[in-house]
Structures are given as C-alpha cells and as structure tokens.
Amino acid sequence: MRFALAIVVTLSLCGCSHGAQQSPTAPTTPSPAPTPVSMTWLWGYVVNEGGACIEGATVQVVAGQGVGQKVTQTTPCDAWAYDGGFAFQNLIPGIAMTLRASAPDWSTCEYSVTPHSGSQMAVILLLTKAGLCQSPGASS
C-alpha cells in the first residue's frame, strides 16, 4: 500500500513540474470581416419632349460600372405609373456611369448618372428630333 501511495505522489509531482511547458501566447484579435457592398439598381425612361416614352429606345452603358450592358426600353411605359422603361441591376452605389440613349429617327445622347442606395427615383433621358441633349431629370 505504501508503494501505491509513493507512485501516486510521484506522478502528481511530475505533473506539476515546469520542465516542458510553453510560454503563454497573447490572444489574437480577429481581423474584421470585409463589409459586403450593398447593391442597388437604376431605372428610368427614355422620353420625347412631350414626356411620352419612345418605343424602341435603347440605353447602353458606355463608361463606368456595367460598361457594355444594353437594354431596350419596354413599352408601353408610363413614368407616372412606374410601368415599362429600362433598368440596370446589381450596381454599386456612388459609382458613376455614362448611359447612351438612342432610338431610330431620334437623337443619340449620353448622360452621366450616379446610382445611389435607398429610395429610388426614375431617371428621365430626353431625346429630341433636333439632336439636342439635355441633362436627365428625375421623376418621383
């Protein structure tokens, strides 16, 4: 019995020895995860001087984000009824893009727009027969 007690005491002392211990390491602070970018969209209408949607109008992104995308306006469209028009999806808010609006027998105009997050308003792109381009407006 004394032999068993001696073994238990010896093993207990060996467990408390400092011979092979590693130094404690400071806790690491995890790097913050990248914040996902909230995507947005841009929608609008290509209209004539009277405010009517132009059938067959196309809108192409010629610079900035989404370059190369092209959309044909769906008609009938009505800026006041939120029906038809064109839309570009999956855009990053705050990054400008240049849109080229055109239609057969109408002017071709380029407009610089910057999509934003939150409440959206329709971008109104005006085409004329005389080839004049004006700054885009917005509808509520």
CATH number at residue 79: 2.60.40.1120
Token pair in block for residue 4: 């068993």
Q: What is the pTM of this model?
A: 0.69
Cβ atoms of residues 112 and 97 within 8 Å: yes
pLDDT at 7 over 90: no
Task: Report if residue 111 sits inside a domain.
Answer: yes
In the chain, the percentage of residues whose pLDDT exceeds 70 is 67
If we measure between CA atoms, which residue out of 113, 116, 54 comes closest to residue 79?
A: 54
Give tens-digit pLDDT for 50-77. Answer: 888 999 999 999 999 999 999 999 888 8
Token pair in block for residue 59: 């809108």
Task: Report if residue 58 sits inside a domain.
Answer: yes
Number of domains in the chain: 1
Distances (CA, A) of 76 to 4, 81, 122: 96, 11, 16
